[in-house]
A and B are shown apart, each in its own frame.
Chain A
Amino acid sequence: MQDVYRTSNSLTKNTMHYCPGCAHGIIHKLVAESIDELGIREKTIGVAPVGCAVLAYNYFNIDCVVAAHGRAPAMATGIKRVHPDRIVFTYQGDGDLASIGAAEIVHAAMRGEKITVIFVNNAIYGMTGGQMAPTTLVGQKTTTSPYGRQVEHCGSPIRIAEMLSTIPGAYSVSRVTVTTPANLMKAKKTIKRAFQNQIDGKGLNIVEVLSTCPTNWGRTPYESMRWVDENMVPYYPLGDFKVPEEAK
């Protein structure tokens, strides 16, 4: 009998703790499927962040470490320099990567570290209860921007993919989302390519994935997906910001 669907070998059987409608589960699955399809499960090392995905090591059936807040690219650098023949990736949220870890991601990109970065941007600090992030949209209400984010008070949201695409050491930089089946298929292709590039000895490879936080946004799972499409995508356009011809 032919298999129609099979759970990824790179995922454990553990039940995920993520909230209903949170896209972490979908993104984990896309990462795991990519690792499976590239046949690299036994040589891949994951770096979990601080934030909701801190428990990612419970779900990925691969060797993992848990980094300090924002330091995943530095930790991945240490691992990759020791094991250049292994595939190393970080999985980081927007508070982690775009705020406290801004220096680490910029310099990992500058050095052209041969790693893959999955950057999950949901415009809020999820795990700590919905505080404002550097990626929070103008006017968006959070527990630390109760009147809505105001530009004159705390600036405009940071566009990480655009910023990193200006760095010569960044090999591939893309932004995707998982809000529709079509977007999800595109995200899968992009994530898999970001791992393939590393297998080919190229780096740094980053995929920004626009994601949801129904709990802290105060929206249903369905509304949250639409909120990404209607509010985040106009400010954070999808697409490849830097992908060399040879990698396409």
Chain B
Amino acid sequence: MSERKLFKGNEAVAEAAVRAGCRYFFGYPITPQNEIPEYMSRRLPEVGGCFLQAESEVAAINMVYGAASAGARVMTSSSSPGISLKQEGISYIAGSLLSPLIVNMVRGGPGLGDIQPAQSDYFQATKGGGHGDYRLIVFAPASIQEMVDLIYISFETGEKYRMPVMILADGVLGQMMESVEFPAMKEPKDPKSSAYGVTGAQGRPARVVKAFDLDPELMYNLNEKLADTWKKAEESEVRVEEYLMDDAEFALVAYGTSSRICRSVVDKARSEGVKLGLIRPITVWPFPKKAIGKAAGKVRGFLTVEMSLGQMVEDVRLAVDGKKPVYLHAVPGGLIPKRDEVLAQVKSIIQGKGV
């Protein structure tokens, strides 16, 4: 049995990626994720990998693009303003059908914003983010253990669909410490064994990795291929946790850090006789439309709790499809929702006193 260790979220991200067979990291400093590159700069040389601090986020994501093109398991991490700078590269990577891991420890925005935890990059993460039609598989863990477990499967998931994978976390998950059990070390794949990477055209026809075609018919074909992939991922990769939803009369919807607070809200509500439940998307793309649609058949309404001005609420409304009212508890700016304030809003809605 492996032992449990007390680990900081950012360092756990890095160790989990190493154990998942990631041997290449390219990044650029930005708060609150700096422990990821710092940890990788120590750890990767120990396992025969390569850490490189790039001159910018733009260069970092293009180094990731190069390493992924070369057939390697590779990752980068950043926080909101840095992830914005990486969007061009992420679009190219998605268009080239490559599957590196991108970690976003989200902080308050817009602009330089602040360095406190936030969930205001939901649109950017789940709707493409850069130019052109593309999606990422986006995991939104709510604990360090879950973050570790999701990173451990992220490369296989990405490689299965040939889509990039993003961990959408925040400053709380990056900075706090929790007890973690790490999975076993996976043997990294030999990049030279890649079926589509550029490795040198030894004894085979030359390969090209690109997100480019001047012929619109060929670009159409690529778009169609991407759409087919999304459909398959939407059928098979949705992850969602329901908490006390069986007899719930009203539902909270929240992911990541805000879902932890919502769990306390549910517990407090239940202790006061309010039948509240929680739906927690673990993948925010693909989004758990079915679970929410099903709940719409039995609860009186939904309250989405987000550390932003309300972004996921739009996906919740699409999934509910007008069947029940969907309300919003929005806490932007890098602040954290408060249990009693969320509960007060739930009660006010239930009692018909307004939102």
Interface residues of A (CB under 8 A from B): 41-45, 47-48, 54-55, 57, 60-68, 71, 74-83, 86, 103-104, 106-107, 111
Beyond the given A63-B206, A65-B65, A81-B63, could you list 9 further A-B residue pairs with CB under 8 A, ordered by the A residue number?
A: A55-B214, A60-B206, A63-B208, A65-B209, A66-B208, A71-B65, A77-B66, A81-B52, A83-B199
Q: Which residue from chain B places its CB closest to the CB of A44 in the assembled complex?
A: B200
Contact of A68 among B24, B74, B92 (CB under 8 A): B92
Contact B206 A75 (CB under 8 A): no
Contact of A63 among B55, B65, B207, B214 (CB under 8 A): B207
Most buried by A among B64, B191, B210, B214: B210
Name the A residues within 8 Å of B191 (CB-CB): 82-83
Q: Which residue from chain A places its CB closest to the CB of B69 in the assembled complex?
A: A65
Contact B208 A64 (CB under 8 A): yes
What are 22 contact pairs spanning A and B, CB under 8 A? A54-B212, A61-B201, A62-B201, A63-B198, A63-B206, A65-B66, A65-B210, A71-B62, A76-B66, A77-B63, A77-B66, A78-B69, A79-B66, A79-B198, A81-B50, A82-B50, A82-B66, A82-B67, A82-B191, A83-B191, A83-B199, A103-B58
Q: Which residue from chain A places its CB closest to the CB of B201 in the assembled complex?
A: A63
Name the A residues within 8 Å of B58 (CB-CB): 71, 74, 103
Contact B210 A57 (CB under 8 A): yes
Q: Which residue from chain A places its CB closest to the CB of B70 in the assembled complex?
A: A82
B-side interface size class = 35 or more
Contact A74 B63 (CB under 8 A): yes
Name the A residues within 8 Å of B70 (CB-CB): 45, 78-79, 82-83
Contact A75 B65 (CB under 8 A): yes
The 5 A-B pairs of least Cβ separation, nearest first, read: A78-B66, A74-B62, A75-B66, A78-B67, A66-B210
- Does B354 count as interface, using CB distance less than 8 angstroms? no
Query: Known contacts A64-B206, A79-B70; is A45 also within 8 Å of B56 by CB?
Result: no
* Bound: A31/B207 CA distance, A: 18
Within 8 A of A (CB), among B154-204: 191-192, 198-203
Name the B residues within 8 Å of A104 (CB-CB): 55, 59, 62
Most buried by A among B54, B59, B96, B209: B59
Interface residues of B (CB under 8 A from A): 24, 26, 50, 52, 54-56, 58-60, 62-72, 74, 88-89, 92, 96, 191-192, 198-203, 206-212, 214
Contact B200 A43 (CB under 8 A): yes
* Bound: A54/B214 CA distance, A: 10
Task: Tell me whether chain B's interface is mostly helix, strand or loop, or mixed.
Answer: mixed
Name the B residues within 8 Å of A64 (CB-CB): 198, 206-210
**Smallest CB separation, B237 vs chain A (Å):** 27
Contact B67 A107 (CB under 8 A): no
Name the A residues within 8 Å of B72 (CB-CB): 82
* Bound: A107/B26 CA distance, A: 14
Name the A residues within 8 Å of B209 (CB-CB): 64-66
Contact B62 A42 (CB under 8 A): no
Name the B residues within 8 Å of A48 (CB-CB): 210
Contact B203 A42 (CB under 8 A): yes
Contact of B69 among A55, A79, A106, A111 (CB under 8 A): A79
Name the B residues within 8 Å of A79 (CB-CB): 66-67, 69-70, 198
Query: Known contacts A64-B206, A103-B55, A104-B55; is A81 also within 8 Å of B67 by CB?
Result: yes
* Bound: A61/B88 CA distance, A: 28
Contact of B55 among A65, A67, A107 (CB under 8 A): A107
**Smallest CB separation, B57 vs chain A (Å):** 11
**Smallest CB separation, B334 vs chain A (Å):** 30
* Bound: A60/B70 CA distance, A: 18
Name the A residues within 8 Å of B69 (CB-CB): 65, 75, 78-79
* Bound: A147/B29 CA distance, A: 43
Name the B residues within 8 Å of A81 (CB-CB): 24, 50, 52, 63, 67
* Bound: A79/B66 CA distance, A: 5
Name the B residues within 8 Å of A54 (CB-CB): 212
**Smallest CB separation, A141 vs chain B (Å):** 29
Name the B residues within 8 Å of A57 (CB-CB): 208, 210
